[in-house]
Structure 1
Amino acid sequence: MTLVEELNNIMGQENVCEKELMKNHTTFRIGGPADILACPETDSSLIEGIRLCQSRKVPFYIIGNGSNLLVGDRGFRGVIFKICKNLNAVTMEERDAGEKLYVKAGAGCMLAKLAKEVSAAGYTGFEFATGIPGTLGGAVAMNAGAYGGEMRQIIQSARIADQEGNIRELSLDELELGYRKSRIQTEQLIALSVSMEFQKGDVKAILRKVDELSQQRKEKQPLEYPSAGSTFKRPEGYFAGKLIQDAGLKGYRVGDAMVSDKHSGFVVNMGEATAGQVRQLMRDVDEKVYEQFHVHLEPEVRCIGEF
């Protein structure tokens, strides 16, 4: 039996396809074909798929909404598991006479959507996530944050699997969340679901803050073009966007890949940018910033596949 046939048996033929262009599954709108794209409907089918890949020694990678990701122009040799289509169930429970809200959500849940639901219910702490385009699993893996908030402020625990498919629960401390990093990243773990807790607040004030942050994003970020979000991590003591701007690189292009002229911390796809162009632009930016300021820029965007 072929790998595709076995995955069909596990996940259903409608959830498995071959030679799928990853440009259709990333916010950059860039990326060649994955050998196989599979969308598991349950945690158990995801785990079974992972174990199948391990037994056949087939490379695999797990994506959510495809944000923060650059897939090579020649695609990905192996299996891409996409979890945001199905693994996105959410349960909410009010506790302590409504003073706290306990939320458990699948890793494939869209972060911005969940943040809006929590905020609209009158609970505070998740306003910062309004507009972040990724999934909950990815947000935990990189301890996503914005406007003074970050995931480690709201997480209680996460249910994770390792590369062999073994499942366990990690507490907040065990997740070892830092700036754009976590134990999930360093040990290549897989987030399955996340438990969070929020405090009751003034719903009008919460929604006003949500609106303010949404407006700030529209004004300051190049949302009108495909991108992977912030391209580089913040170097200690600096801001990546300011270093890039001060190096005179705002609007710098390699083909259709361009440093945004609206926010220098973003690389945008102006039309038909290739992964090779984006990666060359990132190298050029790092080199030119280092020449002027002796600071290297570490990519926040993950690069996978064949370039």
Structure 2
Amino acid sequence: MITFAGVSKAFGEKEVVNSLDFSIEKGELFVLIGPSGCGKTTTLKMINRLEETSGGSITINERNIRDYALHDLRYDIGYVLQQIALFPHMTVEENIAIVPELKRWDKSKIHQRVTELLELVGLEPGTYRNRKPAELSGGQQQRVGVARALAANPEVILMDEPFSALDPITRVKLQDDLLLMKRNINKTIVFVTHDMTEALKLGDRIAVMNEGGVVQIGTPEELRNQPESQFVEEFISSTDQTVDPFDIKHVMIPFDTGDGSISETVTTNISKEQVLNQLVTHEKIAVQENGALVGMITRESVIQFLATQAKDVGGRV
């Protein structure tokens, strides 16, 4: 699907990417990860020629990207940024419709496509179609960004740290939604992150980069169990796995018997993913153990614990 052959990139005399040789398969969610400055975002941007290669070649479906007209290449590749960059004066529908309009799609086809995409990303079309970006939460804006990237039905989606600016609960929810969406659409996704936990959760395969090169490519299981270098082993182990930041006992607070707003009850053996999914729709949830209420969890208690945990481990969550 996408092949890098001897690809390099230099800014002046500084080479930031060197001799990349790898292929991304059709329908794969392929993650690029590494420390800051390793070249992962530059690698991503070379696919749609936001950065031009200094050497080597990149092909999509065996066609060199330099053989495409630049606007055609970019129209056929969706792009989702950390900085969502929705046009503030446009409605949600107008933001999503930008590329289809540039491709001169029929208005009725665009309207239908916007409806399909809003449903796909979990936003009710009748509610959100005519809203402006300022009326949306950060998570909702990022959903619109994903819908906009999918609007013209591209084969390839590039995602550059799309969830890193979001709060932890929304981030986990959007990660789950991306995995669900991937099962329903046949797209090749190239995803950049600096978060190994996110990479291990999302990636079909992961390319670990360092100092402008790829040091290992493998499935999450291969990277965990068969690291090919000390760098990879240390990079994976740098994900703090000694304390689960969403352990229910760690984020639980005393139950408020006078709070009538609690409508959901869970047990202490609930998974962290289930906790976060519950908190997307419920401000507070009660916790039960052996049939007795033992505490409650709130969005605030989770976020406060994460802030403490980040401070304790030097900003790594």
- TM class by shorter-chain length? under 0.3
Report the TM-score when normalising by structure 2.
0.26
Higher helix share: 2
- The structure having more radius of gyration, on CA atoms, is 2
